[in-house]
Amino acid sequence: MWIIEAKYGQDDFYLNLEKEILSLIDGEKNLIANLSNISSWIYHTIPNLNWCGFYLWDKTDQELILGPFQGKPACIRIKPHRGVCGASYSQKKTLRISDVHEFQGHIACDSQTNSELVIPLIKNDLVFGVLDLDSPLRSNFTEEDETKLTYLMNRVSELIF
């Protein structure tokens, strides 16, 4: 049984989140299982999310394809440069969007989404996909969320790809 110790807002939240997520994937080589548990864990620890999940790069189709997630059904395919996810993938950069309505080309899978944090999954300088977090609140994501989740996804990417 998994117990969530990480409590958002506490000083050690990201230390505990990292410990818990690394423990979740420890010894498991199945990518979909690992991504499923990671999306669930983040969805249940970071507040005010209406969607949390992965888009994975498909080399054959040359686009991002929907992977494990929590939330309402979402668009399945995203081309490079399109939307926040496609931009994060193409730029190899975490994008923290305070108001998605001000992001030109935002893809609105859920009309309730008002802010977004998208983090590329990078190993050996290759981008394997992105983690997408959506919130119904404007400016839901802090600079700490951006830096600490980017660090955590870098660690996870080294282990699971």
Name the site residues for ligand SME (rule: CB under 6 A): 51, 74-75, 78, 83-86, 106-107, 109, 113, 116, 132, 134
CB of 118: closest distance to ligand SME in angstroms? 7
The CB-of-57 to ligand SME minimum distance in angstroms stands at: 14
Of the pair 33, 74, the CB lying nearest ligand SME is at 74
Q: Quick one: tokens of 38?
A: 């990671």
The residues, ordered by sequence, that sit 6+ positions from 23 with a Cβ below 8 Å of its Cβ are none
Q: Which residue's C-beta sits nearest to ligand SME?
A: 83
| In the complex, least distance from residue 41 CB atom to ligand SME, rounded to whole angstroms | 18
DSSP string, 45-74: TSSS-SEEEEEEEETTTTEEEEEEEEES--
Residue 103 or residue 161: which is nearer to ligand SME going by CB? 103
User: Is 132 within 8 Å of 95 (Cβ atoms)?
Assistant: no
Helix H or strand E segment including 19:
helix 13-25
